[in-house]
Structure 1
Amino acid sequence: MTAQPIPPITLPPIENPDREGEWLQKALHEWLNREFIPEAINEKIAQRAAQIFVRQRLEGENDLGSLVIAIVTEMQAFDFRESFYSEFAIANAVSDLILDSLGFERCCGQ
């Protein structure tokens, strides 16, 4: 059996950037607080990741993989010293939240 590449996941074009950004910021902030302990820095992390995501979407990027890479790249400049997280954990969490919102089963790529 040959391994098949996972097809790209393309999001629909952004229609309401403010609402999408607010949703992602809130969902990510809640996720961050649930995973470890609630910390003040979690709000800043969620805010920054949502800003990157929305800006990328407004620039026409709709491929989820490319959006995740953009978050990893741009979050490298964020100071994570007060956090348990890293840019990779944040980008993966954003991806999972988006997949969940679209009804994708993450464990099996379907």
Structure 2
Amino acid sequence: MVEPIPNITLPPAQNPEQEGEWLQTALLNWLNTEFLPELVNQQIAKRAAQIFVRQRMEGENDLISLTLAIVTEMEAFDFSNSFYGQFAIANAVSDLLLDSLGIDRCCGQ
């Protein structure tokens, strides 16, 4: 029988604003290296970081819930000037967070 992948819980937020600044910078770097650097990437990274910080300030520590919140709230963002969409952004945030925790994201390990 296949075992489900366990939830990943982030440590409780000690300084959500600092986490948000880190995430905004890391996501912007990711956006600019995946495709061409675009001005809209700054707005995307800022908005995703704002969502993340608010969720963390509300006590959300579950990575899946954080990812879903970013997908849901980024639906209202205008991605027409970007190569990206809300799912790519949420997945990138998830990957960046996993990397920061030292969790290998390959193959569900």
TM-score, normalised on structure 2?
0.98
Q: Partner residue of 1:47?
A: 46
RMSD: 0.6
| Gap runs ≥5 in structure 2 | none
Correspondences of 1:22-41 after superposition (within 5 Å): 22-41=21-40
SS in structure 2 of the partner of residue 108 of structure 1: helix
Deviations 1:33-57 (A, max 9, x none): 0000000000000000000001001
Deviations 1:66-103 (A, max 9, x none): 00000000000000000000000000000000000000
Q: Partner residue of 2:73?
A: 74
| Gap runs ≥5 in structure 1 | none
Correspondences of 1:1-110 after superposition (within 5 Å): 2-110=1-109
Which residue identity does 1:56 align to in structure 2?
Answer: Q
| Aligned mates of 1:9, 1:109 — CA distance in 2 | 11
TM-score, normalised on structure 1?
0.97
Deviation beyond 2 Å, 4+ runs, structure 1:
none
Query: How many residues in Structure 1 have an aligned counterpart in Structure 2?
Result: 109
TM-superposed deviation, 1:109 = 2.5
Q: Alignment identity in percent?
A: 72
TM-superposed deviation, 1:4 = 1.1
